Structure 1
Amino acid sequence: NDDRRAFIAVDLGLHIVPSAYTLRHARGYGRSALRNWLFQMSMDGVSWSTLVAHVDEQALQEPGSTATWRVR
């Protein structure tokens, strides 16, 4: 069951602007992999800026597969 409001936040403890990020699809098959999400950053945890928007992303297909995306 998809929850359109689900999110995960990672506090790196310092202010950086990433050049890329990698995700790993760990379980299930294609239908349970991420397809739509926003990769965002925040300086204060309140205001967020979208760095990458994914719509119908197909890079994660098999259990255990990884994909890397550049951040522009």
Structure 2
Amino acid sequence: VAGAWICIDFGTAISVSPTHYSLRHGRIDREDMLRSWNLEGSLDMSCWHILSQHVNDETLRRPMQLETFDVKLPQLGNTYRYLRLVMTGKNSSGNHSLSVSGLEVYG
């Protein structure tokens, strides 16, 4: 599905100000690797801020590969209850399958 996404809800007692995140490819083969995606943050799941944007990014090339990326906050010190990873284009196989087996947030 175009625009596939996954979301983390940190709950009402926690908000995060991420500086980096790690992403793990979700298959044991070289298929369906993310190429174009955004990491976005929100306080209410209505208004989303792009924290990291990737277009035709070929960093993920190996099965189950884990890579860490920088977060570019719109404003220093912004905090978020929700973080989501959104596909913004087709993956390495030319489809919209979101294959992620791990998402870690730091900050």
Q: Scaled by the length of structure 1, what TM-score is found?
A: 0.87
Q: Quote how far apart the aligned CAs of 1:58 are.
A: 0.8
For CA contacts below 8 A with separation 6 or more, give which structure has more relative contact order: 2
Give the paired residue count.
69
> Gaps (5+ residues) in structure 1?
none
The RMSD of aligned alpha carbons is 1.1
Query: Partner of 2:52 in structure 1?
Result: 52
Out of 9, 12, 20, which is 1:11 matched to?
Answer: 9
CA distance in 2, matches of 1:4, 1:38: 13
| SS of structure 2 residue aligned to 1:10 | strand
CA-to-aligned-CA distance 1:7-53 (integer Å, 9 cap, x gap): 11111222111010000012130x41011111000011111000111
Q: Scaled by the length of structure 2, what TM-score is found?
A: 0.60
Query: Partner of 1:68 in structure 2?
Result: 68
Paired amino acid for 2:53: A
Identity of aligned residues (%): 33
Runs ≥4 in structure 1, deviation > 3 angstroms? Answer: none
CA distance in 2, matches of 1:4, 1:50: 18
CA distance in 1, matches of 2:51, 2:26: 24
